[in-house]
Structure 1
Amino acid sequence: MIDIGFMDVIKSENVEFINLNNGPFINLPLNHSCPKSIALNKLYDEMTFLISFTQLKIHEEATISASIKNIAMGWPTGEEQGYPKKNLGIHKDLHGFISAMLEKFTIDLSIVSASPAMVGTGPHKGIGNHTGLVLCGTDPIATDTVAARLLGFKPQAINYLYKSINKGLGCGEVSTDSSSPIKILGMRLIDAEKHFNKCAYGKDFSID
């Protein structure tokens, strides 16, 4: 935070910084077997508007990392879960846990930066590519569905995304024409996919 300059921005904007790994905590029951509940910073009960801002990445366990995974894995406290957060079984059914967390969170605004976006082996050892693309949406499932397509995946290929869609937590239907249930403003989806792939792989191709 200090080395990259984020703390300077926070101070200049007079924003309060809260480390979610620190307490005081509340206990949140989950519709999940392992863990059945999770400790979260008490800000969970106080916040009125939640923004997820993250980088788009391939992830070796979660398949992709975008707005939903960012919140699901960012809020659990390292004090309880350890560093990395594996002490109490989150990773035994990671996709089930991420989907269970989304049931408890309303992500009001999802911002996913694809500049850079990581392809190859993520979340740490892949290749970052600057594409100039940023995704922004008010439905985290819709936003992550489009983000997944940039990385070459349809939503049924992302287990937690597919689970969440089937729970009715958001819209995961998208197509490259004007009839798409997910309404896309700005670039056409097919153009965004081609542009992303040109930047990442040197060829402008799309899924469909």
Structure 2
Amino acid sequence: MSKVAVVRVEDTPVSVHEAFELAGGLSLCVKEASSVLVKPNACLAIEKPGVMTTCEVVQAVVKEVKALEAEPVVGESAIHGTSTKEALEKSGIAEMCRKENVQLIDFDLCERKGVTIQYGDKTLSTYVARPVLECDAVISVPVMKTHAQTGVTLSLKNMKGCFPGDEKKKFHRWHLDKAIAGINALIKPCYAVIDGRVAMEGLGPIAGEPVDMNVLVCSPDLVAADTVARILMGFSREEVSHIELASNLGLGVSDIHSIEVVGEPLKSVMREFKKPWIEAASFENITVVDGDACSGCVTECMNYLLQNKEKLMSLGSVTVVLGPKGVKNLKDTGGKVLAFGNCVKNLDTDFIVEGCPPLGYEIGNVLQV
């Protein structure tokens, strides 16, 4: 039976230590003199709570690794089209690494290694940041939040940030949920520490709303940790398929009846998160057709549309299509059609915003509003 610790955060370093101890101890996978990758979620240089893992939790994990006389390194690759360096600086993680004298690796700039992601009989050739494979252990330290494509983004999906730059786009074109499972089968992270101090609900991973949860979820079984977190967030198994797919590969336990939850009772910290589906966004005159777009396009597009609802009302009916499968999903709505991003730039539409990803404000420039 897998063990998952759920801990309320009062003092972050104390709570992280307690979470590791309740879950069985970090020494289960971190040995003396070993190199340990601490992988946060620093996806975008934006000062918005709930978007990135807090530097306090990352620092506490780094110190736990040091306490075992191992060598921590921190690494990340942000959303394609954005600066990982800026994201790490904005989050405070870069400054923390300087204070702790810990190596910080920008996975967009380091050496890459060719690998094959596999799920069943499907394979995908791609490149991963070489240091990820060279470390003796990997700890996933995501923030707890919703995601428009995968329902939630937690410790399993966080591993996608080990792949540099535009390599991430391949997973969306292939099969994102199967890719997440395959990525974890390749990297084999050994511990999850899910930062739920400030989580995100609604249109995550960027355009959602911060939620003060003040909780940590910790386990050496990432599938079990994500299972507990998705239940805590009010998501069903069917709404988060990559957790089940990872379990099917033997990467962990997704049956809550086979998971021992220690620390806080799950019911005492549960909350029904607002769902992240793009269809839930309320627009009177705009229809968004998501063809499995990457986080970069979804973030830029939805942020602009949500912030400029009233201004866009003057345009009448508009359909915005994005993602590699957008053409297939597009239906005749009778109004104007705007193609957003290079995946749909060859579509015969009224307006095109090119880029990978484009900047959201370019929608306004193209539509002249």
TM-score norm. by structure 2 comes to 0.47
- Residue matched to 1:43: 131
Residues 151 and 17 of structure 1, relative CA distance in 2, 3 Å threshold: same
- Runs of 5+ consecutive residues of structure 2 not aligned to the other structure: 1-87, 275-369
Q: 1:76-155 residue pairs with structure 2 within 5 A?
A: 76-78=163-165, 80-81=166-167, 85-86=168-169, 89-92=170-173, 93-155=175-237
Residue 199 of structure 2 aligns to a residue whose secondary structure is strand
1:103 CA displacement: 1.2
Residues 172 and 104 of structure 1, relative CA distance in 2, 3 Å threshold: same
Q: Deviation per CA, 1:141-173, whole angstroms, max 9, x where unpaired?
A: 000001111221133431111111122220111
User: Whose radius of gyration is greater, 1 or 2?
Assistant: 2
- Residue matched to 2:265: 188
Query: Is the contact between residue 34 and residue 90 of structure 1 (CA under 8 Å) also seen in structure 2?
Result: no
- Residue matched to 1:206: none
Q: Deviation per CA, 1:58-101, whole angstroms, max 9, x where unpaired?
A: 10001100000001x201110x42xxx32xx3112111111111
Match for residue 58 of structure 1 among 146, 171, 188: 146
| Percent pairwise identity | 24
> Within 2, Cα distance between the matches of 1:90 and 1:97?
6
Length, aligned pairs only: 185
Query: Is the contact between residue 133 and residue 187 of structure 2 (CA under 8 Å) also seen in structure 1?
Result: no
Residues 191 and 37 of structure 1, relative CA distance in 2, 3 Å threshold: same
1:13 counterpart = 2:95: no
Residue 143 of structure 1 aligns to a residue whose secondary structure is helix
Higher strand share: 2
- Residue matched to 2:111: 24
Runs of 4+ residues over 4 Å off in structure 1: 32-35
> Within 2, Cα distance between the matches of 1:104 and 1:189?
31
Give, as a single letter, the amino acid of the residue that structure 1 aligns with 2:103: E
Q: Deviation per CA, 1:27-84, whole angstroms, max 9, x where unpaired?
A: 111215876122112113310111111111110001100000001x201110x42xxx
> Within 1, Cα distance between the matches of 2:269 and 2:90?
32
> Within 1, Cα distance between the matches of 2:188 and 2:252?
11
> Within 2, Cα distance between the matches of 1:5 and 1:122?
21
- Residue matched to 1:177: none
> Within 2, Cα distance between the matches of 1:169 and 1:156?
18
Residue 109 of structure 2 aligns to a residue whose secondary structure is coil
Give, as a single letter, the amino acid of the residue that structure 2 aligns with 1:185: V
1:138 CA displacement: 0.6
> Within 1, Cα distance between the matches of 2:122 and 2:207?
28
1:16 CA displacement: 0.5
Give, as a single letter, the amino acid of the residue that structure 1 aligns with 2:157: K
Residues 90 and 35 of structure 1, relative CA distance in 2, 3 Å threshold: farther
- Runs of 5+ consecutive residues of structure 1 not aligned to the other structure: 175-179, 202-208
Query: Is the contact between residue 192 and residue 221 of structure 2 (CA under 8 Å) also seen in structure 1?
Result: yes
Residue 224 of structure 2 aligns to a residue whose secondary structure is helix
Give, as a single letter, the amino acid of the residue that structure 2 aligns with 1:3: K
1:130 CA displacement: 1.2
Residue 113 of structure 2 aligns to a residue whose secondary structure is strand
TM-score norm. by structure 1 comes to 0.82
